[in-house]
Structure 1
């Protein structure tokens, strides 16, 4: 037995391994625990990021002594370099933050370590760190959607001349092109892209400074911490700042809308890749074999897309249900229990987007079979009726006349073109080109979509640059304070 056969790469029918990116997504749940994300480290890093900005602001405002703030910042920088090792082993009976603060107080003394929480509460701290933590998975989702949209538009252009039937109720309807279908799909993805960008606007509002719920009498500067942390503004109301996690619902809602589109697209592709349909062929690196049936080529990634694309919808329902149990104040049900559904919702949606991008990029239309289905499905019938209308026949009469022509063609085993008394060209590709009105396949609908993608991409890049720029700005401010 060959090495390839023994390793499962060569199944006899399939000679290539599963795409590496698809393999990571599909089989991630089987990876060892040490490959999982470090949730505690991520939490502490976000807390320390807020601390750095808060201490810089307190020093600039003259609220805390610069020398003590410098000592505290140096200790925080050392913890970050050590990936918070000294904190990880501490007992945490009252939560992560207090264990972290307790370490700093033990090391530096209460007069230095104890100034960290000046003008602040865990309530506004948690609201802030949640916004910081969501940036990474949020950008990952946006990047995935951006790339999917680009692939869809590229493939729409590549296959603009591949004629196929559009289907309604599972039956051949009118001739379009595979490229036209992909452009239509791209439209839905781009709307979802815009919805995700809109949904993310609330994570750019800085809640730091709201305190427990009533603000603080310490003369802090929330606008400065907003600048240092990459927010665009400070929350104007302290109650709203700590009570609301609306952005969680907005992000999950926008992801759910996207997920519905992904599931519907995957269903179409699954139907068209079936052996009975055979309109599409998925590349060998994107299909699986059967452990028992050697002839199988299973486009199983489409089933993963359908399964994962609904995760954000379930997460939205769970988060919304948790939030309804809490009053409009700081509440664990809102700030902790509802928020925990955000991470798998965004992650699974990102995976579904990535898998769909791989499938679209690695799938080719069976051109001749698509055209044959358009002919055999009498998809030019509506066009023929419209030609009669333009010659003066009322539409309902034309509809009836063409229906009888289709019936005669079926009875005789001939095509519509061979049966109809029509001097024009009823070839589906010609008909598709002629349907240039109402956004039909004969129109050039790609330029507006390409422009739309460019606008959305620009906004995504601007958001990323602002966040990364704030990291640099904060680091410079910290270094200045440390060496003062």
Structure 2
């Protein structure tokens, strides 16, 4: 998603017309259904057929057979197995793939999916043809390869969604760069910033999360095929050719490491966990700010829920789902690392199966949290007057006043004490900081003209142009830097996904050519 697309998407949500009433959606207070993407994430898990079952079997066979196609092409090209036999195997495997492995569904698999699948090929084609499939490899390096291929789908989707979240954050930051609000520390109004400045800060953390995910996934681009059971093979295979055919960037240089390591599982879950912490913290802020008591933000109708009993409610319940799902990867990381730490540094079920199985829910839940947060950020509109009111009522300009006294020659600690007394006086009298300051000669001397609005929170926020504050030049520089960083990371995400797609296309073309020429 480009920056322009992000702004368009934000505008489509924040400037939407009154949503049409739909059957079963009108609660009296709310007149639209839940956003479609949010509904899929929150509710579709309860629908019949949402488990894996036969779909999981087909997916595993598709991954295994993709590796088979590349391996067989390499065996033929290297002259290890003659092209005639390879072509028959390629054609047969391609047929199984085209038919979604219907011939293998429901068949007994007492020794696992791969051996049942290989046995079926031997039964159909005979030992002389079907029996050459496993030449120069083991289930160990095969499994290490297929898990990397399996990771590409959810991992690539997660990368794209995190980039889209950053896009929306930066687009919203630009749109709301002049909406003054209080920054909060310890739950209390602190200094004046803008809502756009807050979103820019979140975007910076999300972009670091994206970079961490990209770094964590580099191992899945290394081809372990050829490592055999653990010590390689004496067959003259070419792992670099299978790497090319399968879209990897290179081959594993050490056979022990290739089959023993699933470091990428831990690194990806760790990166998801770190990103999840940011998302959970943002969800907490937004949950507070959308409450009636704060009233700083208003969520779009299709991003809130009603109550089954209380007709007045507008519950921003998606924020609770974000908090829950953004924490799930941390549990997956603990479970995966615990399983992995029990195994020696070689091929092990504890590593290749028990540890890896925690990756999928960790990636899925992180993806769901990212998607929901993107929808929420795009559909949350700041209540400008309320934000400005709280910035003024919370005396957020007090620090600026103290700094102004310092710049006028007063020691900071004395200025801090004087302003504190001025705030106390304002509270006691029920007046603004500007009004209370008129009774303090040191403060009154700083006010230009009649001093009626010189401590306006918007003006003060604009003056905070140093140290990464919300001042115009500073905010502009931060947005520019983060936008350039996002473009760089998006290019890397696109390059990775394009490489995988093109490799699959090249492999399919190579297989067709080899079959047709035999």
Counting only pairs closer than 5 Å after superposition, residues 191-206 of structure 1 correspond to structure 2 as 191-206=208-223
Contact 2:227 2:259 (C-alpha < 8 Å) held by counterparts:
yes
Distance 1:274 1:256 in 2: 27
Residue 438 of structure 1: aligned partner: 467
How big is each residue's C-alpha offset from its partner over 1:262-306, in whole Å with a ceiling of 9 and x where there is no partner? 000000000000010000000100000000000000000000000
Contact 1:5 1:11 (C-alpha < 8 Å) held by counterparts:
no
Number of residue-to-residue matches in the alignment: 481
Distance 1:97 1:277 in 2: 58
Q: CA deviation at 1:391?
A: 0.6
Distance 1:6 1:271 in 2: 30
Instruction: Give the alignment partner of residue 138 of structure 2, picking from 106, 121, 127.
Output: 121
Residue 110 of structure 1: aligned partner: 127
Instruction: Please tell me whether residue 317 in structure 1 is matched to residue 334 in structure 2.
Output: yes
Instruction: Please tell me whether residue 11 in structure 1 is matched to residue 35 in structure 2.
Output: no
Contact 2:284 2:319 (C-alpha < 8 Å) held by counterparts:
yes
C-alpha RMSD over aligned residues: 1.2
Instruction: Please tell me whether residue 27 in structure 1 is matched to residue 43 in structure 2.
Output: yes
Give structure 1 regions of 4+ aligned residues with deviation exceeding 3 angstroms.
Answer: 4-8, 34-37
Q: CA deviation at 1:5?
A: 8.9
* CA distance 1:34–1:382, change in 2 (3 Å): closer
Distance 1:181 1:6 in 2: 35
Instruction: Please tell me whether residue 55 in structure 1 is matched to residue 79 in structure 2.
Output: no
Contact 2:22 2:31 (C-alpha < 8 Å) held by counterparts:
no
Residue 405 of structure 1: aligned partner: 422
Residue 463 of structure 1: aligned partner: 496
Contact 2:22 2:32 (C-alpha < 8 Å) held by counterparts:
no
Counting only pairs closer than 5 Å after superposition, residues 229-378 of structure 1 correspond to structure 2 as 229-378=246-395
How big is each residue's C-alpha offset from its partner over 1:341-394, in whole Å with a ceiling of 9 and x where there is no partner? 000000000000000000100010000000000000000000000000001001
Residue 453 of structure 1: aligned partner: 486
Q: CA deviation at 1:62?
A: 0.1
Q: CA deviation at 1:65?
A: 1.1
Distance 2:21 2:251 in 1: 60
Distance 1:282 1:47 in 2: 46
Distance 2:45 2:68 in 1: 34
How big is each residue's C-alpha offset from its partner over 1:125-148, in whole Å with a ceiling of 9 and x where there is no partner? 000000000000001111110110
How big is each residue's C-alpha offset from its partner over 1:202-247, in whole Å with a ceiling of 9 and x where there is no partner? 0000000000000000000000000000000100000000000001
- Bigger mean CA deviation after superposition, 86-95 or 159-168: 86-95
- Bigger mean CA deviation after superposition, 413-422 or 110-119: 413-422
Instruction: Please tell me whether residue 98 in structure 1 is matched to residue 115 in structure 2.
Output: yes
Residue 391 of structure 1: aligned partner: 408
Instruction: Give the alignment partner of residue 182 of structure 1, picking from 175, 195, 199.
Output: 199
* CA distance 1:6–1:391, change in 2 (3 Å): closer
How big is each residue's C-alpha offset from its partner over 1:302-350, in whole Å with a ceiling of 9 and x where there is no partner? 0000000011110000000000111001000100000000000000000
Contact 2:21 2:32 (C-alpha < 8 Å) held by counterparts:
no
Q: CA deviation at 1:8?
A: 3.2
How big is each residue's C-alpha offset from its partner over 1:15-52, in whole Å with a ceiling of 9 and x where there is no partner? 11110110000002211116758211111100000000
SS of equivalent to 1:32: coil
Residue 217 of structure 1: aligned partner: 234
SS of equivalent to 2:184: strand
Q: CA deviation at 1:6?
A: 9.7
Contact 2:191 2:397 (C-alpha < 8 Å) held by counterparts:
yes
Residue 423 of structure 1: aligned partner: 447
Residue 474 of structure 1: aligned partner: 507
Distance 1:183 1:390 in 2: 29
Q: Gaps (5+ residues) in structure 1?
A: none
Compute the TM-score of the two structures, normalised by the length of structure 1: 0.98
Distance 2:21 2:409 in 1: 67
SS of equivalent to 2:177: coil
Distance 1:168 1:138 in 2: 35
